[in-house]
Structures are given as structure tokens and as C-alpha cells.
A and B are shown apart, each in its own frame.
Chain A
Amino acid sequence: GAVVSQHPSRVICKSGTSVKIECRSLDFQATTMFWYRQFPKQSLMLMATSNEGSKATYEQGVEKDKFLINHASLTLSTLTVTSAHPEDSSFYICSASSAGERYGYTFGSGTRLTVV
């Protein structure tokens, strides 16, 4: 089946620094990828839709200058959390649409970000 690889699985960074998270579709091309954020004991919240070769579409309330998304190829999207603060600590998850209707969307394994 379709596989989405997300890296790193966990990262700790200092407040004020930037962190990049990668999301790769390993065996299919993904023209569209999605980025979610999940706080403890809460559901996934969609942050943005990443389209290959064009600007990402952000959900209401998500700061596009803080969460930079780049989708430069059909197999790679990156999310950069800029000037991270402790309140950005969360579980970030990407997903990509796979070929055909069989699987719908495939999700990465997530990145646990801790800002100290």
C-alpha cells in the first residue's frame, strides 16, 4: 500500500529557533499533501493544504508566516515552524492522497515537537 514517511519523529528545539519537518510519499506521487496539528487528548486539526508547485492554502487562524510550507516536488512537502515558542509544542502529522480510491489518504507517523 501507499506509504508516507515523516521525519523526524521527534524533535526538541530551543525557543526562538526554527524546525523543519519533512513529509515524503515513498511509492506514489502526491500533488496534494495536508498538514495537521494535534494537541494532547484532542483531535487532529487541519493547518494547511500543500499543493505541488504552488502556494499552500492555510486554514483560518493558522499563521502562514510562522508555519512555512513548501511542496517543491510530487513526493516531498516540508513544514517549517519558524521562531518556535513553547505553545507550538505539539504533534504534527502530514498526509497525502494516494492513487485511486482504495486508501483515500495516507498519513505519516507524526512528529512530536517540544519547544523548550
Chain B
Amino acid sequence: DAKTTQPTSMDCAEGRAANLPCNHSTISGNEYVYWYRQIHSQGPQYIIHGLKNNETNEMASLIITEDRKSSTLILPHATLRDTAVYYCIVRPISSNTGKLIFGQGTTLQVKP
């Protein structure tokens, strides 16, 4: 079973920031938080990951709460091409071969 919960869907206006929350209250100290997205009929695409510090890359920012029980993915200036299903996943640090279990994700609709 997935160890994360996310809202089913969200809307965002084009050009505005999209803030996607994720609850992972049972995360352990040796697990990363990963975010992927899946655009319709394509394979999932890596976005960002983090352990306990906030992270930023060219695609997004990841804010992890101090207790690590939740996180927020921020797309600073959403475009229509960001419309996708966003998945928040936890994965053990120690293994590059452990399974990735997907939950239902959040369907983000970016509107003009």
C-alpha cells in the first residue's frame, strides 16, 4: 500500500504557483520523499526528491515540514503543460532497487 495521501484533484491558474500537498505521516527517518508526474499516456517523469531539507531545482521546489510528516511540491509558475497527475512517493535511502509504490496521486489541471 502507498504510504502517502494526496488530494484527488486541484486546479491552478496559468502563471500562478501550484502548491501540491502530500501527507506521509508514517515516514521513517531513512526514507526519501520523491515526486513524479505523469502526463497523459506517458511514463512518469522525475521531478524532485528530498530527505528533510527543502530542495529546489529547475522544475520545482519541495518543502518538507520539520516533523517530516508532510510536504508540498511547488511549481512556481504553472503552465498548461504542467497539467498532469502528480505522485508523492516515499522510498528507503539505502536501496536503489527497492520498489516504488504509487498512490492515486493528484490530478493538477492548469487553466488559462
Which residues in A have some Cβ–Cβ distance to B below 8 Å?
4, 6, 31-32, 34, 36, 43-46, 49, 51, 91, 93, 95, 97, 101, 103-110, 112
B97 touches A97 (CB 8 A): yes
> How many residue pairs, one in A and one in B, have C-beta atoms under 8 Å apart?
58
Interfacial residues of chain B within 12-65, with CB under 8 A of chain A in the complex: 32, 34, 36, 38, 41-46, 49
Q: How far is the CA of A45 from the CA of B105 in the complex (A)?
A: 13
Q: Is B81 on the interface with A (CB-CB < 8 A)?
A: no
- Most chain B CB within 10 A, of A6, A91, A104, is at A104
Is chain B's binding surface mostly helix, strand, loop or mixed? Answer: loop
Known: A44-B44, A108-B43, A110-B42. A97 touches B96 (CB 8 A): yes
Apart from A4-B43, A31-B97, 9 more pairs, CB < 8 Å: A43-B87, A45-B102, A46-B102, A95-B43, A95-B44, A97-B96, A101-B49, A104-B46, A105-B100
A110 and B100: CB pair below 8 A?
no
8 A Cβ contacts from B50-105 to A: 85, 87, 91, 93, 96-97, 99-105
A107 contacts B91, CB within 8 Å?
no
Interface residues on B, range: 20 to 34
Interface pair B46/A103, CB less than 8 Å apart? yes
* Prevailing SS type, chain A contact patch: strand
A104 touches B102 (CB 8 A): no
For A93, list chain B residues within 8 Å (CB). Answer: 43-44
> Given the complex of chains A and B, what is the CA–CA distance between A91 and B103 in angstroms?
17
Do the beta carbons of A34 and B99 come within 8 Å of each other?
A: yes
Q: Which residues of A contact B105 (CB under 8 A)?
A: 43
> Known: A31-B97, A104-B91. Is A44-B102 also a contact (CB below 8 A)?
yes
Which residues of A are found within 8 Å of B43, using beta-carbon distances? 4, 6, 93, 95, 107-110
| Nearest CB of chain B from residue A24's CB, rounded to whole Å | 13
Within the complex, the shortest CB–CB distance from A107 to chain B, in Å, comes to: 4
Q: Which residues of B contact A91 (CB under 8 A)?
A: 41
- CB pair A32 B97 closer than 8 Å: yes
Instruction: Please give me the residue from chain A that is nearest to B46 by CB atom.
Output: A103
A41 CB to closest chain B CB, in angstroms? 9
